[in-house]
Amino acid sequence: MEDSTEVQSSERYTSTCSYEDLPNHELDNLKQDHEVVIVMVPFPVQGHLNQLLQLACLIASSYDLPVYYVGSATLNRQAQVRANALNPSDIAKIHFHEVPIPEFSSPPPDLSASRKFPLHHKPLWDASLFLREHIASFLRDVSSKSRRIVVVHDPFMSFNVQDVYSLPNAESYIFNGVSAFYSYCFSFLFRGMSIQREDEFLKKLPSLEGEMPDELRDFLAIQGPYMDTRSGSILNTSKVIEGEFLDSLAQVERVKQWAIGPILPTKLDNASNSNNICLKWLNKQPPRSVLCISFGTTTTFSDREVMELAMGLEQSKQKFIWVLREADRGDIFTGEARKLELPEGFEERVKGVGLVMREWVPQPEILAHSSTGGFMSHCGWNSCIESITMGVPIAAWPMHSDQPMNSFLVTEVLKIGLTVREWEKREELVSASTIENVVRKLMASEEGDGIRKRAEELGVSVRRSTEKGGASQIELDSFIAHITR
């Protein structure tokens, strides 16, 4: 994205999607008249797909409104295959609308890169710019058959939904799948605005100077002109977690905002995944004794980093479930993922103490399990909100993007976690001894017990906020009342 030529070419990419292309169940639905129809437009990477599917299911199941989820066939399939914690009957209520996406390369992550940012996804970002006409065509079809069409979209899809403003009965809302704290820091610090906090707080914040790749900066520049025309913002957080920062954001935002999180189910039935090997293993472990280790779908460790982590876990002598996977490609159904090698004999030596998983796992259910007592995480907001909701403390190891700010929120503001590695030392190898010490402190010390108690108390408050009369439920009811007015 060196100049505007790519944007211009995406504008020339014409729609070929028509009624004849739609599955029969969509055809039937589109022929009906609706009062209000909601269209979800996610950005095509896992963390973004996941949150909007959770929101789609929450609205469809709780308010009986028709909800469409718009993406390519492959990405819609990915969202459904990885629909952790969601009830299949709720997913069945969603209308998955497929839009064609140009072919793109799907390279593996670059192990030689000095930074962890997933630039191997850039071909997918570029391809997503060609969806505008297809989405516009679909919105026009839905608009003609409903009193109001409400588009809820990822900030990174703002360019693609710009045509919503040409429809007389349509309005759009940005879904912010990041923490309010990160949005607060971005709005104030990165835009040179005054921040309402004491200087000592500012001095502690991790510096993100030079951290945003030019490729991402260029992509954001394409989205920027279309972000400020939204009718409001939805945030996957709660006033219980981030009330102070939500209030600060409200003072500078020119549109209404609703903090409706957590949008994931807060009462998980482990029986629905009773045959999952992780949950069966957890059933045999003492309460709060197991550390879950997972670094999301955009982080890949080098062989040396895997070795140090393995040795650190083994030396800690603490129980663990380690989700050992390479970062997703742009298309998760193509290509062969690299198998990350462990020290010779490692799995045999930790048998009964640790479990290594190399495939997709039901992370929310694992965090909700009574045997889970800690979570070593990259601090993506999906993982943070899941861990906070389930009352599990975090060993924070941020890799890129919003993760350093989320880590600061967890460890310095909420005080429900420990830092594995300081952000300023992100290009240094984390030693096995460092990992061992952090794991022991979180899982087997008085300090760790205190952190766990605070995390559990916050989790109770967050879960209550989603119940009738709770802060998040009131916010969600307010949003639905607003769009169905």
What does the buried/exposed string (b/e) look like for 193-211 if buried means 16 or more CB atoms within 10 Å of the residue's CB? eeeeeeeeeeeebbebeee
Q: Are residues 155 and 274 in the same domain?
A: no
Please state the rounded mean pLDDT for residues 448-462: 98
Active site residue 303: no
Q: For 351-362, how does the pLDDT look when each residue is reduced to its tens digit (9 = 90+)?
A: 999 999 999 999
Report how far residue 50's alpha carbon sits from residue 347's, in angstroms, rounded to the nearest whole number.
31
H-state helical runs in 224-355: 239-252, 277-282, 303-316, 346-349
For residue 197, the model assigns a pLDDT of: 55
Least confident segment among 45-54, 111-120, 145-154? 111-120
Rounded to 10 degrees, the C-alpha dihedral 244/247/252/256 comes to 140
Q: Any idea which residue has 């995390």 for tokens?
A: 455
Q: Does pLDDT of 251 surpass 90?
A: no
What is the percent of the chain with per-residue pLDDT over 90, rounded to a whole number? Answer: 78
CATH label of the domain that carries residue 85: 3.40.50.2000
Average pLDDT of the chain, as a whole number: 89
Task: Provide the domain count of the chain.
Answer: 2
Q: Does pLDDT of 428 surpass 60?
A: yes
For residue 194, the model assigns a pLDDT of: 53
Distance from the Cα of residue 187 to its chain's centroid: 20
Q: Which amino acid is at 462?
A: V
Q: Are residues 235 and 321 in the same domain?
A: no
Q: Are residues 139 and 274 in the same domain?
A: no
Q: Are residues 205 and 56 in the same domain?
A: yes
CA proximity to 443, closest of 268, 280, 308, 285: 285
For residue 8, the model assigns a pLDDT of: 35
For the purposes of burial, counting CB atoms within 10 Å of the CB of 314, is it exposed (0-12), middle (13-18) or buried (19 or more)? buried
* Residues near 313 by beta carbon (within 8 Å), at least 6 away in sequence: 291, 293, 320, 322, 350, 354, 435, 436, 439
- Determine, yes or no, domain membership for 477: yes
Among 48, 97, 134, 153, which one carries the catalytic annotation?
48
**pLDDT bracket for residue 248 (50, 70, 90):** confident
Q: What is the DSSP letter of 93?
A: T
For residue 158, the model assigns a pLDDT of: 97
Partners of 395 in the β-ladder = 376, 418
**pLDDT bracket for residue 198 (50, 70, 90):** low
Please state the rounded mean pLDDT for residues 240-254: 88
- Determine, yes or no, domain membership for 9: no
Report how far residue 94's alpha carbon sits from residue 67's, in angstroms, rounded to the nearest whole number.
6
Q: Does pLDDT of 160 surpass 90?
A: yes
Report how far residue 310's alpha carbon sits from residue 348's, in angstroms, rounded to the nearest whole number.
13
- Determine, yes or no, domain membership for 27: no
Please state the rounded mean pLDDT for residues 69-87: 95
Q: For 322-368, how does the pLDDT look when each residue is reduced to its tens digit (9 = 90+)?
A: 999 999 999 999 988 888 999 999 999 999 999 999 999 999 999 99
Neighbours of 24 (CB within 10 A): 7
Domain span at residue 414?
270-464
For residue 186, the model assigns a pLDDT of: 80
Q: Are residues 231 and 164 in the same domain?
A: yes
For residue 249, the model assigns a pLDDT of: 86
Among 90, 126, 154, 402, which one carries the catalytic annotation?
154
Active site residue 154: yes
